[in-house]
């Protein structure tokens, strides 16, 4: 009953009604939990504000503060985002956020027990609200690890079966392409993706087959997207050079040239005719005991492989260019301007991002990869967060690493909440810089409506992170 007999010095007599409302709101979480308290706050917020303003109104209409502003005027909520939440909902979420502790120290059981002992002894220990916050954070830590064990981690046997299926498909494609087009200048194909970095979550259902193309150095040059009239950092043009000395058809890839540039769309069409149109996948599938079919429609060339009765694997066929400076470009079109930017090759930072994340974890035994996998699983299982991809989450964590040094396993709950807050901030700003190339905005392919929906979902998740985990765990996994 600590909230019932609070200090009310300096306030006008309100016959106990305002105190009752304050008590109900301050103790709602003890009875209803965080989510219930947020809903109750939305329902009572307008009434409480109206009542507080009425009892606080000056007796004289001329009574004002020195600043000239009426003391009973409705407060302004700072840091709001009108694009994501409306006024009342943002106020409630803001109050919920203030109730969440910010120190990972509160998660430690020993710290919690010491706090309880001090409170019982009647000393100057933490208040009841401090104890509640510590319990909430300890609960979140437990829920995160439980979610990780039950919904994030993939059994080693399932991963091994998926890798074997991907390897079988890669071998068949390699044999076919070498036999069908022996003069096509390709380097050795290889498998890649989160399945091979131990960063895949929920199910082992996705792999990438990288197909490196060989370009003649004196016939092709690369141009960064920001140096073109399109001004799209993170995408590149591959321009045909020396046509006066080496006319068209001097290079094998001249057949995929559009307007003087190597078109990733045309390259994909060449492979699509071979992989989807020429290979007898039913016959190969019967030999391998798989069911194999091309996925249509697909923004890239994708094969669906059913290797068990209830297990499927999706293999993306990705043509790849590796420049002299090590820049990796893949034939994956710009999501919002595929037609207008059909000659643009996408720069891939995945290998470097993953290497940096793992190196940081190895230095201090941190939880960065664990935090990433939990976030990926939440986004994969929650339809409202499907538009957040692995690259965006990885870079948000890498940027957070520059500000936060404590990534111990005990700090997982703190770092997870910080990641959610950081994503909300980036969505409000409309930009997420790439940690390896800050000029690249990783949110450039999101629509305004998608930004609003993502921001709203994450705001609500900050007031009830455990509810976010529960709702994700109840969703069926999707490819």
CA–CA gap between residue 90 and residue 308 (Å, rounded)? 47
- Side-chain-facing half-sphere of 231: CA atoms under 13 Å: 1
Rounded Cα gap, residues 388 and 430, in angstroms = 13
Enter the pTM of the model: 0.73
| Cα dihedral value 279, 285, 288, 294, nearest 10 | 70
387-398 burial code (b ≥16 CB/10 A, e <16): bbebbbbbbbbb
Q: What is the pLDDT of residue 297?
A: 77
Full pLDDT tens readout for the chain, 479 residues: 444 444 444 444 445 555 555 555 555 545 455 445 545 554 454 444 444 544 444 444 444 444 443 333 333 333 334 444 444 544 544 444 444 444 434 334 444 444 344 444 444 455 655 555 555 566 899 999 999 999 999 999 999 999 999 999 999 999 999 999 999 999 999 999 999 999 999 999 999 999 999 999 899 999 999 998 889 999 999 999 999 999 999 999 999 999 999 999 999 999 999 888 889 999 999 999 999 999 987 778 999 999 998 999 999 999 999 998 899 999 998 888 767 788 999 999 999 999 999 999 999 999 999 999 999 999 999 999 999 999 999 999 999 999 998 999 999 999 999 999 999 999 999 999 999 999 999 999 999 999 999 999 999 999 999 999 998 888 765 55
Q: What is the pLDDT, as a whole number, of residue 473?
A: 83
- Whose tokens are 């985002």? That residue is 81
Q: Which two tokens stand for residue 71?
A: 């003391």
Q: Tell me the sheet residues that pair with 302.
A: 316
Report whether 349 contacts 391 (CB < 8 A).
yes
pLDDT at site 45: 47
Please give the pLDDT value at position 117.
45
Q: Count the neighbouring beta carbons within 10 Å of the beta carbon of residue 260.
A: 11
Q: What are the chain's domains?
A: 156-218+263-347 (3.30.460.90), 352-474 (1.10.1410.40)
């Amino acid at each position: 009953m600590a909230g019932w007999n609070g200090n009310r010095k300096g306030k006008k007599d309100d016959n106990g009604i305002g105190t009752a409302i304050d008590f109900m709101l301050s103790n709602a979480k003890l009875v209803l939990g965080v989510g219930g308290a947020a809903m109750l706050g939305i329902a009572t917020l307008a009434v409480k504000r109206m009542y507080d303003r009425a009892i606080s109104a000056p007796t004289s209409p001329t009574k004002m503060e020195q600043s000239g502003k009426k003391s009973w005027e409705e407060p302004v909520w700072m840091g709001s985002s009108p694009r994501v939440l409306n006024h009342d909902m943002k106020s409630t979420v803001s109050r919920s956020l203030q109730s969440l502790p910010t120190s990972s120290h509160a998660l430690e059981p020993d710290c919690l027990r010491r706090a309880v002992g001090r409170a019982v002894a009647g000393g100057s220990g933490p208040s009841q609200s401090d104890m509640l916050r510590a319990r909430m954070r300890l609960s979140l830590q437990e829920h995160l690890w439980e979610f990780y064990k039950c919904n994030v981690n993939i059994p080693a046997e399932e991963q091994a079966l998926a890798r074997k299926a991907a390897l079988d498909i890669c071998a068949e494609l390699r044999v076919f392409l070498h036999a069908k087009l022996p003069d096509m200048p390709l380097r050795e194909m290889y498998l890649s993706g989160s399945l091979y970095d131990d960063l895949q979550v929920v199910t082992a259902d996705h792999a990438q087959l990288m197909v490196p193309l060989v370009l003649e150095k004196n016939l092709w040059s690369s141009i960064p997207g920001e140096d073109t009239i399109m001004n799209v950092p993170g995408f590149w043009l591959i321009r045909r050079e020396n046509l006066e000395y080496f006319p068209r058809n001097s290079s094998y890839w001249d057949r995929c040239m559009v307007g003087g540039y190597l078109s990733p769309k045309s390259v994909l069409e060449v492979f699509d005719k071979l992989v989807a149109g020429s290979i007898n996948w039913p016959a190969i599938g019967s030999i391998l005991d798989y069911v194999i079919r091309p996925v249509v429609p697909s923004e890239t060339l994708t094969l669906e492989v059913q290797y068990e009765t209830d297990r499927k694997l999706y293999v993306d066929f990705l043509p790849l260019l590796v420049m002299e400076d090590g820049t990796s470009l893949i034939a994956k079109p710009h999501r919002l301007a595929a037609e207008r930017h059909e000659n643009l090759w996408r720069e891939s930072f995945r290998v470097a991002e993953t290497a940096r994340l793992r190196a940081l974890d190895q230095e201090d035994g941190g939880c960065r990869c664990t935090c990433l996998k939990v976030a990926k699983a939440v986004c994969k299982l929650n339809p409202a967060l499907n538009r957040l991809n692995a690259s965006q989450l990885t870079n948000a964590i890498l940027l957070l690493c520059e500000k936060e040094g404590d990534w111990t396993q005990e700090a997982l709950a703190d770092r997870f909440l910080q990641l959610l807050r950081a994503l909300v901030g980036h969505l409000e700003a409309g930009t997420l810089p790439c940690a390896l190339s800050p000029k690249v905005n990783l949110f450039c392919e999101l629509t305004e409506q998608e930004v609003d929906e993502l921001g709203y979902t994450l705001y609500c998740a900050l007031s009830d992170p455990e509810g976010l985990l529960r709702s994700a765990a109840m969703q069926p996994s999707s490819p």
